[in-house]
Structure 1
Amino acid sequence: MMIDIWKNIERKQFSPIYLLYGMESFLINETKQKLLKNMLTEEELDFNFASYDLEEVPIEVAIEDAETLPFMGEKRLIFLHNPFFLTSEKSKSKVEHDISKLEAYLQEPVPYSTIVFVAPYEKLDERKKITKLLKRSAEVFEAKKLSEQEIKTWIRHRAGANQVEINDDAMEMLLTLSGTNLMMLASEIDKLSLYSEDVIDKHTVEILASKSLEQNIFSLVDKVINRNMEEALRIYYDLLKQNEEPIKILSILAGQFRLLYQTNELMRRGYGQQQIANFLKIHPFRIKLAAGQAKMFSEEELNKIMMWLADADYQMKTSALTKSMIIEMLLFKIHGS
């Protein structure tokens, strides 16, 4: 749905009304940028673009603007932010909106203007007449967290916009190294595209992709449980060289093993990966990776590791040993388990 809307915008097939709602702000901003880029030239922006905050401006003012003929161009583009009247939330805004004016406009929008409702809310109040009418009248885009398959589709689209392709192995490696944050992924894809002639491959990703601290810890854990202690220590020492605090490293390390423990326990109870992701409120791709790592441990081993992590935390606060040495000793313990 998201890609279909973007493709239509890129083909300059515009809807008179869009409703963008949800908590994934990157996708909403990406859609807004595509509309700006494809609908108006730089010269037209000054005359035919407007943006209103509906917590400060009545809807009828924006509608009057939409009904004004374009100047030195063929289209007007109007962003309407924070349409709180579409939700059941109580707003602090003292602005009163003439919703009947909006209802009349939605039933007969002018052909030369595009209105974009930008609603950064998880849910809209489907019981309200105006919400129902808007959803019937508009091109609706729900900006929610993407599934693994949707992220991969989005990655291919982003790479294609940079005139390159990305193969499956490279995509898996990119997600493993950089995570599922769309803003970080966009930055990485744009960077990788510069260094790839036609196709982004796995080798290019391994060399150039940036890793978040969390992803470095994931790699560190992966090396430890696969008995590659030399590579695990290299990652750990690199983190110390980057001035990462040992106590922060320990905290994320504990979080990773807690995820393995929870994933292992829920799989034992018969939960599927999507169910685990929903229950823990974690992206399904992270659960997929955690499930792979969790299989390397028995329940007893994970219990033991959780105790070691708690003990390492206590030692950091009380022991005369250096904090970096405490983590190093912990890694060897896990390696030997």
Structure 2
Amino acid sequence: MKDVLYLEEQLSKNRMSNCYIFCGSDEHSIKNYINKIVAKFVNKDFLDFNYSEIDGLNANIDNVRNACETLPFMSEKKAVVIYRANFLRDKVDKALESSSKEIMQYINNIPSECILIMYYIFENDREKESNKVRKLEKAVLAIKMSKLKGNSLSKKVTDILKDKGKDINKSDLAILCNNVENNLDIIENELEKLYCYTIDREITGKDILDIITKKNDNDIFNLVDFISQRKPQKSLDILNELIFKGEIETSILRMIQRQFKLLFIIKLGIETGKSKEQLSSELKLNPFICEKMMQQSSKFTLNQLKQNVEASLETERILKSKSVDSKLEMELLILKSTTIKI
């Protein structure tokens, strides 16, 4: 599978594929790159006539073929996007499996004037691409929206800052790469914050530590997300990873408390008609992070969030007042959180 840096290189050289398949855990980033592909190859003045979307749950060979084989209007290319194309997963029901086989066979017959784009979302950051997608790699450009690491991460961060007219020395670059969440969309948002904060001066290591949202915040987001899905084992896996990396149980608990408190405030704000812009301003959250948390809050009721906050406060009281197994108490908190009723 190719990565997002390969896709960027291809787009910069105006190289187009007839069919793209994206997979990954960050739908926001996937949609951004779909928009880049469409903007690059489809006439924007006649986009309404040359762009169509199909819900993956309703996709079948007939509506896919009809969409792809309609000639573009006043444009050399048209784009068809199948979103949430879960038929690309390995384990699906019989109806989706039937659609999967027929659509996969059709890929070799897509008209040259059409760009077919499909994507599906991983349930978590640890999921791998399906065997179905691997088998299609010779016929399509398959992009896994995986996290950037090592030299790829350093180069991307440096390039983004250069585009903004900012230089960064090697030691500060190392601090930045060690602290930023290695997800391209989050990186761009975090670097924009850093740029605005240091707009008239050089970036320092202190600026980075003061401004950048730490990696562990995303682990906590995923942990809470698994709680919302009633998946205690996956939440416990993340807890164990954090402890293995050296995080203290009380520190993890504070991060969980903060997440539930923010979700409660955001949920309450949404129900009283507040917008993303109002909430991100009031809570001093990056708009992208606020949007993700708004989506996560929708998976809970206000009562569930309130009970989770109370449960975390009770765990804090136990850890402070008694000689107990801290890890066990954290595990009990997670198990309790996944069973809280509406």
Taking the aligned partners of 1:43 and 1:62, their CA distance within structure 2 comes to: 24
Change beyond 3 A, Cα 1:192–1:177:
same
Taking the aligned partners of 1:28 and 1:211, their CA distance within structure 2 comes to: 21
Residue 89 of structure 1 corresponds to which residue in structure 2? Answer: 91
Residue 227 of structure 1 corresponds to which residue in structure 2? Answer: none
Deviation of the 1:82 alpha carbon:
2.9
The question of 1:259 aligning with 2:245 is answered: yes
SS at match of 2:8: helix
Q: Which moved more, 1:53-62 or 1:175-184?
A: 175-184
Residue 81 of structure 2 corresponds to which residue in structure 1? Answer: 79
Deviation of the 1:71 alpha carbon:
0.8
The question of 1:11 aligning with 2:13 is answered: yes
The question of 1:2 aligning with 2:26 is answered: no
Taking the aligned partners of 1:198 and 1:139, their CA distance within structure 2 comes to: 41
Residue 316 of structure 1 corresponds to which residue in structure 2? Answer: 320
Q: Which moved more, 1:56-65 or 1:177-186?
A: 177-186
Query: Are the aligned partners of 2:147 and 2:183 in contact in 1 as well (CA < 8 Å)?
Result: no
- Which of 52, 55, 69 matches 2:54? 52
Deviation of the 1:213 alpha carbon:
9.7
Query: Are the aligned partners of 2:147 and 2:182 in contact in 1 as well (CA < 8 Å)?
Result: no
Cα deviation, 1:283-314, whole Å, max 9, x if unaligned, reads: xxxxxxxxxxxxxxxxxxxxxxxxxxxx9864
Structure 2 matches for 1:171-210, cutoff 5 A? 171-194=173-196, 201-202=203-204, 205-206=207-208, 209-210=211-212
Residue 31 of structure 1 corresponds to which residue in structure 2? Answer: 33
Query: Are the aligned partners of 1:167 and 1:199 in contact in 2 as well (CA < 8 Å)?
Result: no
Deviation of the 1:315 alpha carbon:
5.9
Deviation of the 1:148 alpha carbon:
3.3
The question of 1:168 aligning with 2:175 is answered: no
SS at match of 2:111: coil
Change beyond 3 A, Cα 1:199–1:71:
farther
One-letter amino acid matched to 2:119: V
Query: Are the aligned partners of 2:83 and 2:118 in contact in 1 as well (CA < 8 Å)?
Result: yes
What TM-score does the superposition give when structure 1 sets the normalisation length? 0.54
- Percent identity, aligned pairs only, is 18
Query: Are the aligned partners of 1:178 and 1:210 in contact in 2 as well (CA < 8 Å)?
Result: yes
SS at match of 1:260: coil
Taking the aligned partners of 1:98 and 1:151, their CA distance within structure 2 comes to: 34
Deviation of the 1:76 alpha carbon:
0.6
Taking the aligned partners of 1:99 and 1:131, their CA distance within structure 2 comes to: 14
Deviation of the 1:33 alpha carbon:
2.9
Taking the aligned partners of 2:22 and 2:164, their CA distance within structure 1 comes to: 25
One-letter amino acid matched to 2:121: P
What TM-score does the superposition give when structure 2 sets the normalisation length? 0.54
Cα deviation, 1:27-46, whole Å, max 9, x if unaligned, reads: 42342232133223542321
One-letter amino acid matched to 2:112: P
Deviation of the 1:164 alpha carbon:
4.7
Query: Are the aligned partners of 1:173 and 1:202 in contact in 2 as well (CA < 8 Å)?
Result: no
SS at match of 1:72: coil
Cα deviation, 1:130-159, whole Å, max 9, x if unaligned, reads: 862x32111121222332333223323433
What's the Cα RMSD here?
4.1
- Which of 158, 161, 179 matches 2:160? 158
Deviation of the 1:112 alpha carbon:
1.4
Query: Which runs of 5 or more structure 1 residues have no equivalent in the other structure?
Result: 216-253, 263-310, 320-337
Deviation of the 1:192 alpha carbon:
3.3
Structure 2 matches for 1:54-133, cutoff 5 A? 54-91=56-93, 97=99, 99-100=101-102, 102-103=104-105, 105-121=106-122, 122-126=127-131, 132=135
Residue 229 of structure 1 corresponds to which residue in structure 2? Answer: none
